[in-house]
Structure 1
Amino acid sequence: MNFTLILSLLFLSGILSAWEFKDPQPERTIELSTAKMPANVMEVVLPENYPVAQLAAGELQKYLSEATRQNIPLVKTPTGRALSLIVGDNTLLRQAGMNPDSLPDQGFFIRRIGNQIFIAGLDSKTDNPANNKWSMWFDRGTISGVYDFLERFAGCRFYFPGRLGTIVPKNTDFALPEKINIIDRPDFISRKTSKYLGKSWYDTQKEYNGITGENLQILRNRLETYEIPCNHGLAQWQYGSRFEKTHPEYFALMPDGRRYHSPTLPMTTHLCFSSGLKEQIYQDAKGYLTGRPSSEYGLKHWNINGAYGRSIYNIMPQDWFYVCCCPGCQKLFGSKDRQYITHPDHFQKISNGLWKFTADIANRLKTEGVKGYITQMSYLPYHRVPQVDLPDNLLVMAAAAGPWKNGRQAAALQKEDDQRLADWNKKLKKRVWIWTYSYKYSSKYHYEALPEICPRAIGHYYQDRTQWIFGAYHAGPSEDSFLYTYLNWYIFSKVCWDNSIDVEKTLEEHHRMMFGAKAAVPMKKFYDLLEDLWVNGVVCRTVETALGPEVIRPSQKEIWEKIYTAQKLSQLSDQMKQAVELSSGIEKERVLLMKKDLLDPLIQARQNFYSQESAYQNRYAELPARIVLKNCKVPRTVLHTEVEVSQDDKNLKIVFTCPEPDMKNLKSQPQPRDGKIWGDSTVEVILAADDARSRYYHFMANPSGSLYDSECTIRIGKVFTNKAWNGKIRVIPELGPDFWKLTMIIPKDELGLAGKAQIPANFCRTRVLKTMKAGNEEFFMWTPLAQGADYHNVERFGILLASGKAPEGNLLKNGSFTQINQWLSHLPIDWDRWLEKGAGSGQKISMDKEIFVSGGSSLRLQNIDGSRISSGQTVQGKADTAYRLSFFMRTQGVNTTKRPNGGAGVYIHAGSNQYSVVKPLLNGDNEWRFYEYTFRTSADNGKIIIGLWNWFADGEVWFDDVQLREVK
């Protein structure tokens, strides 16, 4: 499950009584007379000034005053001279016969009695919304009631916090029904979305009365006030630290005799379900549900991720379930290790075993008279409905692919998903709740500029499944622009509160109220097209995995050449242009905001893609070749891993030389062919067998000389691996005092490479030490601009030239900055330098052998504010001729305070023509980026001067792989 547990130390406070599961909710009461009375004079009354009611009263006063143009006062007691809007839980409310304790779960009253209107729900009297509690989990029914009042009677809409996202229609003839009797509550008791995890809020204002924008959005969307925990509860109870010394048998046995409890193992810790731990799990659950202090069980606290309200206790196993290899667990589950990944026929037996274990705990609690509920998730590999009886004190959550499986191409998969929900309902004789997986970043590809706008798919998905579910966690944190998801979350919250809303009318209302009646027409087309591209283009293919449902993502090439094509972006641009022209005032501001956040980054990303493509297309290595691998996890490559590639008539010979200062802790174990060596230090060779790069061979070896190899095929965007394929590969390891080498001899005929002039390839190293914790591994590869261990991204492979030459050579000398000046060893040859303030001033030009793109070094310019620094080279070209300059550039701490036009860039003097390549000049911190610029020399002069510079700004600038070629 792709979820970060941020709140390991929180526990809900203020829980006064045990929670009871009630589904469905009682019918809502909405009684409004058609006759209305003018509300010309109003007052907001706040008899008890606790924080929740204080916020609710303040919001009511603010927006009702703005809507009616009245100056509505906030008072402590009714004056008798105005229509009194009495807010919160107080004596007046109870004297009027209303008790919030009698309300349905998370409900509220809005009731008119004469000249008084009461708005109240069940509230926490201690929690302060401005404390920004995680997910705003506290009772706050009055706040929900106030927002309902403002929406229902004043026509306000709260699409997102801030002036542009809040709609307050003006109504100077404001009137209210003579009869108002509302008892409302959500249809779904569970209504959760992921937190906004973006780098920056969309607006300069980030807090509103001390409440963060994302938390105010939770309040206004009326999301859940508590969570029913079902999030790997068994990983929350610290069994590792509690029992690793006294009861090692509690942990899953591995084939090599180790127990699955180590920080070096992924998704640790996993348990032995046939050991005495079962009794401990039961006692922990009983202790919590009967109100015992956590200290009695060796715990500092009862973790909110695994328990709630002394009423719910979760015993879901750790993520990426590992089946203990002991005889008892093999009998229980009919499997071991993670065999189920390749043996889906094991699913039913694993489900039977895990759910029997769960039922045993729940049944024993009932037998011993312990009130409360056990929660468990239907989650791969125990997602199948079990062939065991389940008690009624068990609540089940189901992992479901969610709205993104709702596209045109996913009908069959969705049908299978829905059948599982129906089967669970039949088994339990009650509804379940679901965790859906709408993770934009759950794969190796990162789509920062693609708006995941899909409110229609979200709304209809949850509406269409109300017969099976009582709630949902719509998982998938927004990690870029908040505006990519605001409308998704708005529609989700509206459907969860009232399953019967008209999604289409709600969307039409959004477009009209946000952008005006005229601009609403093109903006509707704009939003609809963005949704279609996302749902039916990017995320229409989903598969089940051991970490939950996962989307098969299209490649970057598919994204820009088949989905977000030039034609589609032209349509979006035309729609936005029409909306700008048809809007005015604040509505035009909103249109322009959406242009800035939704459209402009999309256009720029497409341009960047085609620019970056050139960076990869020009990556050649003529054999024999020497290649230096770049650390693709951190900017600095301290250890230079060198790869020498050569060939004869029959074989490719590839020699890795891996510097290693800590050889004694080098992680490597001898393994049989195709053994599990991917946890060791390894080197890898990946060779594409066809020009389309749809089939490739993968070779991996560790310092012990153990080899893993496979044949891989790419179909429908997914890699299918044939591990049974074994090539006639020779592996020769060598261990030195501070390095290790590995040589691979690969027959070309066997791979179909004999006679091929060009071979797409990647070379990689993973550095793992025995002392490293999981996640601290280092990754190195040939591919430039890569992040993380994205070794198999075939689009980013370089090209080995087995015969022939690379495209016509670089006109610049030493453009990779690998050749050293023999007199000044910190400088490259062939490049001039100019320091305005001179040596010793803080200005410096040097070669950097730790931060580079290729070749093992780059050029670094260090400058001081207000001064100029540059390095350049002059080439005699042809007059009136087109040339293309390309280069990689990176900046850190570039900042100018003395000149407004300062920054880092590249200039070109081409005869009498002059060009500035980087516009605007770079400031701040910028990771490596590829630039390409085509220019023309003047008609009378072919002399070309290339200048790499930082003008009037301090900080550091790096350049690498600078190339100049004639355009033919």
Structure 2
Amino acid sequence: MSRTTRGIALALVGLGLLIVGGCAKTAPVQSRAPSRAAGVVLTGEGAPSRVQIVVASDGMATPKQAALELQRLVEKATGVRWAVVNTPSDDAFQVVVGPHPLAEEAGIRTEELPPEGFRMRVQGRRLFLIGQDTAGDPWDLHWMRACRTGTLSAVVEFARQFLDARWVMPGVDGEVVPRLGKLMIPTELDFQGAPFFRSRRITLGATPAEARWMRFNRLGWSQVTCFWHNWYQTISPEVYGKEHPEWFAMVNGARRLHLREEGMGGQLCVSNPEVVRKMAEIAVENFRKYPGWTMFSLSENDGGGHCECSSCRALDVEEWHPGKPSLSDRFARFANRVREAVGDRAPGMKLGYMGYHQGELPPVKTRLLPGIAVEDIHNGYDKRFHQPAARARHMQVLKGWRAQCPEVVLTTYFHGMAAWSLPMFSPEALADLIQTAAEFPSSLGVYVGMGGAQAAFGTQGNEFFLAAELMWNPKQKVAAILRDYNRAAFGPAAEAVGAYFDLIRRAHDRAAGEMKVMHDETVDEGWIFSTYDPIRLQADAFLQKAQALVASTDAATRRRVRMATDGWEWTKIQVDTLTGLRRYKADPSAENARVMLDLVKRREAFCAAHAGPGDYTVSVPEIRMADRQRALSVGPGEYEARISGKRKSARVPLFSGRLGGDDLWEGVPWGKAAIAGPMVRTDDGQPYAVATTVRLLADDERLYLRFDIREPRMDRLVSAIAQRDGPVWNDDAVEIFLDPANHRKTCYHLLVNPTGAVADLRHLGDRAEISWDAGATVATRRGKEGWEVVATISYAALDVKATPLPGDVWSANFARAHRAATPSANLAWSPTFGLFYKPERFGELIFEAVEKPSP
């Protein structure tokens, strides 16, 4: 933004000229600027002796709630309580809220308003606050039940313009209503407003406080939208796979008939006409069962793995990224075919699907039929905005969908993958997305995700406010919105806190322009250090100044400034933790473990202090999610174990000669084996309810292993991979890690699933060689309450030149991916407190000589 534009925007805020959103199809009647010099006085000197709020007794819930909110807000601002009545007194100044015969007499008709629209009008001794509402609870924001709340928006606009009210975060501390000596409105006030986008959503929780914040910031929708991942809930391979394997994706020559956790995988063969027929039947049945469900999702499952059969491949036209086809035309054709099959059996129902991942690009040859809406996904745009090539691609996608599809919803998980609730302030990027979408009449709505169900207003509150404002009226100036937010939220400290966030913005923008963002949305965490480390002293100084400036102001303002300060304290703790982890990974010494133990305890204490209901400093659920996604060791167990120097160990019997024959189940003396286990949860080292143990033996030529894997839900066992060296790790599987040299430089890795599919690889430091062949003998078998694996691996395959001697020590670990569990779990003999492959956390195999058992 230029200096001139910024100056104009700030000047407008100073004059109180708050322009309210219009509608893409209905131009609003703009009000004159509120005059403080002349007008109708409603409280204070010169006010009427009586002011009444009039609401129809037989009206909907929204006008009744809006009337109560108006009563409360006026009393909070002025100390004067207006009565709420159904039948007004002739001598009272009447504030008519919601549809009412008095409004009809004045020529104000709700049917003339756009969806969710409202009108504020003074006529004689009456003020009308009338909106377009529908039946329902105005505080219920369930995606299917939420009602239209135009009258509540009229009250909100009145409070914003004439009470200077703002809602900067959920809860009591988030409502800012200054005290007024006199409340006055223009004599000729006539103002009409409506949302620009028909659907306006932000990720928040479902508490009453969060619902109120959303409504007071005019979030909602007049059209139901539904785009979630839905194939696994409609045509699941777990339900239809045995009878109709041809309905599901063919990958590497085999049909994928299993889902991974959380509904991932299990994609459909969308070129199959029977899949089209079945999906249409389910959509029609769903509509008849839930008539209010006016959009049915056709979106793919998450996790990739789409069909490679010749019929599906024939529908793909271009590349998505080098070596990967765009699937947009096959998805568009599938949506069209389902639309045709539904026909007129579900009048009023639309179909929706995501333009996502390999379906990200607009289709080339297929034009979508009427009655189909698309959700285009723009994740991590806060970083891509600062990279010219990445931004150009996003704009190509955004504009391309809107040029050819009649209804499109812009969705952005704006900061991409969960990033520990850190402040990543990028207002220009957020405005670029929303304001560009607003250029197209086909833009149905905007959905903004900011990191999780618990909102982090201490680090991202300004972006929540900005998103809500731009969704209502995208023509507003970014600087004006932010200045307004800072003024309301931080009072005397507005300039200091604003300077702190601007410092964050400039640091983030610099780092974003340099970081590499992959098409799977992952980024290297190095940007965190280059963003926050250089600005520590300046950020500390701004926030210390802010604390001093609000020392004598009201408690709510002090708490909001404290929340921003605590958000910065959290940022420093997290950056220090990541720095410590880098050092520990490079040198897992006891000294570095002590540093990490102190850091993770500080980190956990902060999260515990801010995890309670109503605390919006940071999003603790997002922090936990980011830890899981990056498999970070942020519990004390690993560092306590390193400080103690203790390692798991098993003493492996070493027999002379050769054990057993061809029968590895009965021909091997498993009763004399060492036992490693039971396995524990790999993330925290805690016991796990379902046991997994490993028995170990050795002879002159090879190592013998037998896994006993308990499984209470054998019907849920995941074993989709059949080919060698396939992604066995996506199935229920056991894993073997062997480092015979015990120097953490070379590790041999073997994976086995319940059907006996094997993947083997050799780790050379951070590099993995999938071409390595263990030459292992492997067998599996299943029982009623579990499954078993036996395996033998020769020393020669492990580059061990001679039989181990008694007393030799190998580094090793054994693991289990428990996919049949909900949620899935990762287990290990020696907990790694993160990913399975962490050689520094392996246990020890100690060989000891024994006599060969008698035949």
Match of 2:635 in 1: none
Match of 1:227 in 2: 224
Alpha-carbon deviations, 1:661-689, whole Å to 9, x = none? 46996877995541342214220439899
Shift of 1:88: 0.9
**Structure 1 CA distance for aligned equivalents of residues 706 and 744 of structure 2:** 30
Match of 1:38 in 2: 41
Match of 2:523 in 1: 552
| Alignment equivalent of 2:187, drawn from 175, 178, 201 | 178
**Structure 1 CA distance for aligned equivalents of residues 23 and 259 of structure 2:** 41
Match of 2:771 in 1: 726
Match of 2:73 in 1: 63
SS at match of 1:433: strand
| Alignment equivalent of 2:448, drawn from 451, 454, 474 | 474
| Alignment equivalent of 2:567, drawn from 598, 616, 621 | 598
SS at match of 2:357: coil
The reply on whether 1:630 has 2:602 as its aligned counterpart is no
Match of 1:24 in 2: 24
**Structure 1 CA distance for aligned equivalents of residues 403 and 473 of structure 2:** 24
Change in CA separation of 1:436 and 1:133 when aligned onto 2, cut-off 3 Å: closer
Match of 1:700 in 2: 751
The aligned runs of 1:801-816 (5 Å cut-off) are: none
**Structure 1 CA distance for aligned equivalents of residues 811 and 530 of structure 2:** 25
Match of 1:938 in 2: none
Alpha-carbon deviations, 1:525-570, whole Å to 9, x = none? 222344556666589654334xxxx24251xxx47755443x5444
Which structure: greater strand fraction? 1
The reply on whether 1:510 has 2:510 as its aligned counterpart is no
Match of 1:277 in 2: 275
Alpha-carbon deviations, 1:679-736, whole Å to 9, x = none? 142204398999999x99865345777542457899xxxx9x877x412534354779
Q: Is the 8 A contact 1:705 1:731 kept in 2?
A: no
**Structure 2 CA distance for aligned equivalents of residues 453 and 93 of structure 1:** 44
State the TM-score, normalizing by the size of structure 1. 0.63
The reply on whether 1:674 has 2:725 as its aligned counterpart is yes
Shift of 1:120: 1.7
Q: Is the 8 A contact 1:100 1:122 kept in 2?
A: yes
State the TM-score, normalizing by the size of structure 2. 0.70
| Alignment equivalent of 2:300, drawn from 298, 306, 317 | 317
Change in CA separation of 1:560 and 1:359 when aligned onto 2, cut-off 3 Å: closer
| Alignment equivalent of 1:437, drawn from 410, 413, 416 | 413
SS at match of 1:527: helix
**Structure 2 CA distance for aligned equivalents of residues 504 and 162 of structure 1:** 25
Match of 2:146 in 1: 137
Match of 1:147 in 2: 156
Match of 2:667 in 1: none
**Structure 2 CA distance for aligned equivalents of residues 672 and 369 of structure 1:** 44
**Structure 2 CA distance for aligned equivalents of residues 530 and 113 of structure 1:** 48
Match of 1:837 in 2: none
Match of 1:585 in 2: 553
Match of 1:421 in 2: 398
Alpha-carbon deviations, 1:562-583, whole Å to 9, x = none? 5443x54444333222111111
**Structure 1 CA distance for aligned equivalents of residues 336 and 186 of structure 2:** 52
The aligned runs of 1:220-299 (5 Å cut-off) are: 220-225=216-221, 226-232=223-229, 234=231, 237=234, 249-252=246-249, 260=257, 266-268=264-266, 270-282=268-280, 287=284, 294=287
Q: Is the 8 A contact 2:53 2:82 kept in 1?
A: yes
Shift of 1:267: 3.9
SS at match of 1:31: coil
SS at match of 2:273: coil
The aligned runs of 1:76-155 (5 Å cut-off) are: 76-125=86-135, 127-129=136-138, 133=142, 137-155=146-164
Counterpart AA for 1:171: L
Q: Is the 8 A contact 1:110 1:145 kept in 2?
A: yes
Q: Is the 8 A contact 2:265 2:302 kept in 1?
A: yes
Q: Is the 8 A contact 1:66 1:168 kept in 2?
A: yes
The aligned runs of 1:911-930 (5 Å cut-off) are: none
RMSD: 4.8
**Structure 1 CA distance for aligned equivalents of residues 741 and 190 of structure 2:** 72
The reply on whether 1:380 has 2:349 as its aligned counterpart is no
Shift of 1:594: 1.1
Match of 1:523 in 2: 497
Gaps of 5+ in 1: 1-21, 198-205, 207-211, 752-758, 803-968
Q: Is the 8 A contact 1:119 1:142 kept in 2?
A: yes
Counterpart AA for 2:596: E
Shift of 1:157: 0.8
SS at match of 1:381: helix
Match of 1:895 in 2: none
**Structure 1 CA distance for aligned equivalents of residues 742 and 187 of structure 2:** 77
Counterpart AA for 2:30: I
Q: Is the 8 A contact 1:515 1:591 kept in 2?
A: yes
Q: Is the 8 A contact 1:710 1:722 kept in 2?
A: yes
Change in CA separation of 1:625 and 1:559 when aligned onto 2, cut-off 3 Å: farther
Shift of 1:57: 0.8
Change in CA separation of 1:785 and 1:190 when aligned onto 2, cut-off 3 Å: same
**Structure 1 CA distance for aligned equivalents of residues 644 and 699 of structure 2:** 19
**Structure 1 CA distance for aligned equivalents of residues 573 and 311 of structure 2:** 58
The aligned runs of 1:318-333 (5 Å cut-off) are: 318-320=301-303, 322-324=305-307, 328-333=311-316
111-120 vs 401-410, greater mean Cα deviation: 401-410
Counterpart AA for 1:224: G
**Structure 1 CA distance for aligned equivalents of residues 26 and 764 of structure 2:** 54
Counterpart AA for 1:434: L
Shift of 1:171: 2.1
Change in CA separation of 1:513 and 1:37 when aligned onto 2, cut-off 3 Å: same
Counterpart AA for 2:121: R
Change in CA separation of 1:250 and 1:384 when aligned onto 2, cut-off 3 Å: same
Match of 1:165 in 2: 174
Counterpart AA for 1:158: W
The reply on whether 1:575 has 2:574 as its aligned counterpart is no
Which structure: greater helix fraction? 2
| Alignment equivalent of 1:214, drawn from 210, 215, 222 | 210
The aligned runs of 1:928-943 (5 Å cut-off) are: none
Match of 2:628 in 1: none
258-267 vs 316-325, greater mean Cα deviation: 258-267
Q: Is the 8 A contact 1:123 1:141 kept in 2?
A: yes
Match of 1:831 in 2: none
Counterpart AA for 1:552: V
The reply on whether 1:346 has 2:322 as its aligned counterpart is no
Change in CA separation of 1:23 and 1:606 when aligned onto 2, cut-off 3 Å: closer
Change in CA separation of 1:748 and 1:739 when aligned onto 2, cut-off 3 Å: closer
Change in CA separation of 1:663 and 1:358 when aligned onto 2, cut-off 3 Å: closer
**Structure 2 CA distance for aligned equivalents of residues 422 and 696 of structure 1:** 49
Count residues in correspondence. Answer: 709
SS at match of 2:447: strand
SS at match of 1:276: helix
Q: Is the 8 A contact 1:696 1:711 kept in 2?
A: yes
Shift of 1:155: 1.1
Shift of 1:215: 0.8
**Structure 2 CA distance for aligned equivalents of residues 495 and 607 of structure 1:** 35
SS at match of 2:173: coil
